């Protein structure tokens, strides 16, 4: 346990803005005190009669999840004007008219300024959880936590059983009032504090995809020459004034690019939860169209936008709206095509070629600690090459946690052994069972791979808590 840690840490918001519905749907926003928010969520998610150790473990996970959304500005970086939603499909339950249980309210008062994080990380853990009976996920099982509490485990031991032993419990976190995320004063040589630490962490993550930005060897919250050099390189790449000073423009550009590079392989989390994706272009898409192919082109456009300063990304909502039309026109101008705003075959080919070119140009170290994005070409029986070898490595990583998945040879040849492993994965995660590694299958394998290497999924010595099956997050 880390009591009042010396390291720089995020602050607890005095209040949080909740969207009362799924992000993509129109619904009211409400600003609610953070303590009240946690008490309400816990009263909706768990039962007050559970053992106190189980209640505490669940509430720490709920706090960490909410703080991760807030600290990473997950929704605000996508253009939304809220911090979190009330949709249990993507976030956690909040009911403004719901009852709050007294014992849970008292626990919220005790726990609201604490959270868990992964060792070596600053940001609160993205602590997935589910009930473990009706829904399962790579995270805490609510009913399983009750069983562990009854066995005598304390809250931290329960959390370690699900998230791994490399987590830290941070307590006594200071509270801040809601304000613009940019620092009050520009950051420059001699600046110190949490804002500098956040800046350094984000620049280092961005530098993995933009090697021209020098790594800051030891992020320490002190703005020195190494940080200034990284800032100048960032400003130069993204067309900002190159002065080494982090004002509002640089701060928000860093935030945007940080979230962009983190989202490069989040195909599933961006709402592309359809059964099958075909990359063959089928027909022209234009304003007013909806559905699968619109989501696909939005995903590719966003990927490309993360690596160019010519245009910005958009929400992936499957709707060919004005923002999508404008982004298509921006891309067409960028690619030297007539800016019609219509995704025709020529534009699709140019977009696809740009996507493939970016992936091939990225250095191997761009993917250290994170799975590669979908290579753009579906893999099937007879496929060969580095992409096949990559997916074979990911499959073997999944096999280290899921005994149902066979360990296979990493030889770059997509034969019957690889196909059968893909069959197993598709069955396990509720995908279309065709032995084809298309965009959605790749994204699922990559998503689980990322969870495993980040410690979000249990290892053999961790408590299972649930039966692996169809997954649904909080």
Q: Are residues 49 and 132 in the same domain?
A: yes
Output the pLDDT for position 363.
56
The 10 Å CB-count burial string (b at 16+, else e) for 350-361 is bbbebbeebbee
Which of 150, 176, 202 is at the close of a domain? 176
Residues 302 and 434 in one domain: no
Name the residue among 163, 227, 168, 226 with its Cα closest to residue 195: 227
Q: Is residue 5 part of a domain?
A: no
Two tokens, residue 432: 């279309």
**Same structural domain, 22 and 129:** yes
Q: Does 203 share its domain with 150?
A: no
pTM of the predicted model as reported, rounded to 2 decimal places: 0.45
C-beta neighbour count of 41 within 10 angstroms: 29
pLDDT above 70 (res 23) = yes
> Does the pLDDT of residue 20 top 90, yes or no?
yes
Residues 385 and 355 in one domain: no
- Do 158 and 51 lie in one domain? The reply is yes
In this structure, the strands spanning 115-118 and 84-85 are unpaired
Per-residue pLDDT tens over the stretch 146-181: 999 999 999 999 999 998 888 889 887 777 654 445
Q: For residue 175, what are the β-bridge partners?
A: 12
Encode pLDDT of 227-238 as tens digits: 999 999 898 887
What is the predicted pLDDT for the residue at 270?
A: 34
Domain count of the chain? 4
Q: Domain range spanning residue 463?
A: 377-474
In this structure, the answer to whether residues 48 and 141 fall within a common structural domain is yes
| Nearest Cα to Cα of residue 21 among 30, 12, 10 | 30
Contact 474, 88 (CB under 8 A): yes
Same domain, 24 and 136: yes
Same domain assignment for residues 170 and 49: yes
pLDDT band for position 460 (cuts 50, 70, 90): very low
Structure-token pair, residue 91? 């976030």
- Mean pLDDT across 345-360: 78
CA distance 403 to 409: 16
pLDDT at 209: 62
Which of 328, 346, 367 terminates a domain? The answer is 367
Q: Report helix, strand or coil for 29.
A: strand
Per-residue confidence (pLDDT) for residue 107, from 0 to 100 = 92
Is residue 346 a part of any domain in this protein? yes
100 and 25 housed in the same domain: yes
Q: Is residue 285 part of a domain?
A: no
Of the listed ranges 298-302, 407-411, 466-470, the least confidently predicted one is: 466-470
Cα 60 to Cα 113: distance, rounded to the nearest angstrom: 10
Query: Which tens digit of pLDDT belongs to each residue from 190-202?
Result: 998 878 888 888 8
* pLDDT tens digits for range 417-426: 999 999 999 8
- Taking residues 434-451, what's their average pLDDT? 81
Tokens 């039962």 appear where? 47
Q: Which of 318, 347, 367 is the last residue of a domain?
A: 367
Q: What is the mean pLDDT of the chain?
A: 80
Retrieve residue 208's tokens.
């993995």
**366 against 48, higher pLDDT:** 48
Split at pLDDT 50, 70, 90, the class of 463 is very low
pLDDT for the residue numbered 470 = 35
For 291, the token pair is: 């559905």
Q: Are residues 142 and 49 in the same domain?
A: yes
- For the ranges 40-44, 79-83, 381-385, 445-449, the maximum mean pLDDT occurs at 40-44
pLDDT tens-digit series, residues 283-302: 688 898 876 667 778 878 87
Total residues found in the chain within this entry: 474
Q: Cβ–Cβ contacts within 10 Å for residue 98, how many? A: 11
Q: What is the pLDDT of residue 454?
A: 62
Tell whether the model's pLDDT for residue 15 goes beyond 50.
yes
CATH number of the domain residue 469 falls in: 1.10.101.10
């Amino acid at each position: 346990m880390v009591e009042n840690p010396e390291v720089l840490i995020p602050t607890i918001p005095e209040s949080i803005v909740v969207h009362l519905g799924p992000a993509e749907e129109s619904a009211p926003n409400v600003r609610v005190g953070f303590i009240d928010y946690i008490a309400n969520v816990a009263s909706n998610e768990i039962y007050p009669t559970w053992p106190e150790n189980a209640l505490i473990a669940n509430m720490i996970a709920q706090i960490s999840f909410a703080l991760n959304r807030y600290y990473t500005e997950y929704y605000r970086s996508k253009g939304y004007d809220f911090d979190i939603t009330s949709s249990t499909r993507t976030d956690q339950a909040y009911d403004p008219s719901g009852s709050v249980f007294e014992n849970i309210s008292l626990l919220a008062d005790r726990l609201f300024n604490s959270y868990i994080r992964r060792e070596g990380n600053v940001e609160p853990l993205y602590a997935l959880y589910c009930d473990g009976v009706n829904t399962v996920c790579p995270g805490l099982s609510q009913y399983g936590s009750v069983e562990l509490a009854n066995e005598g485990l304390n809250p931290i031991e329960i959390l370690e059983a699900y998230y791994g032993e490399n987590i830290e419990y941070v307590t006594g976190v200071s509270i801040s009032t809601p304000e613009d995320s940019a620092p009050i004063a520009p950051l420059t040589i001699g600046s110190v504090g949490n804002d500098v630490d956040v800046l350094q962490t984000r620049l280092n993550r961005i530098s993995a995809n933009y090697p021209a930005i020098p790594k800051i060897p030891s992020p320490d919250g002190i703005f020195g020459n190494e940080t200034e050099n990284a800032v100048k390189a960032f400003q130069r790449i993204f067309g900002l004034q190159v002065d080494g000073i982090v004002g509002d423009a640089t701060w928000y550009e860093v935030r945007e690019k940080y979230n962009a590079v983190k989202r490069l392989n989040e195909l599933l989390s961006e709402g592309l939860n359809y059964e099958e994706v075909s990359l063959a272009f089928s027909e022209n898409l234009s304003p007013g169209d909806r559905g699968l192919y619109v989501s696909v082109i939005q995903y590719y456009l966003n990927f490309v936008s993360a690596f160019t300063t010519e245009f910005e990304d958009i929400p992936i909502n499957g709707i060919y709206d004005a923002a999508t039309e404008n982004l298509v026109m921006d891309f067409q101008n960028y690619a030297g095509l007539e800016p019609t705003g219509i995704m025709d075959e020529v534009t699709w080919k140019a977009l696809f070629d740009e996507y493939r070119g970016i992936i091939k140009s990225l250095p191997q170290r761009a993917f250290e600690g994170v799975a590669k994005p979908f290579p753009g070409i579906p893999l099937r029986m007879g496929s060969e090459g580095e992409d096949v070898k990559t997916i074979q490595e990911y499959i073997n990583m999944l096999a280290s946690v899921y005994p149902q998945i066979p360990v296979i040879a990493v030889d770059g040849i997509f034969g019957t052994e690889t196909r059968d492993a893909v069959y197993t994965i598709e069955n396990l995660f509720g995908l279309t069972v065709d032995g084809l590694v298309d965009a959605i299958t790749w994204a699922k394998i990559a998503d689980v791979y990322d969870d495993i290497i980040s410690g979000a999924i249990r290892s053999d010595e961790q408590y299972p808590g649930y039966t692996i099956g169809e997954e649904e997050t909080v």
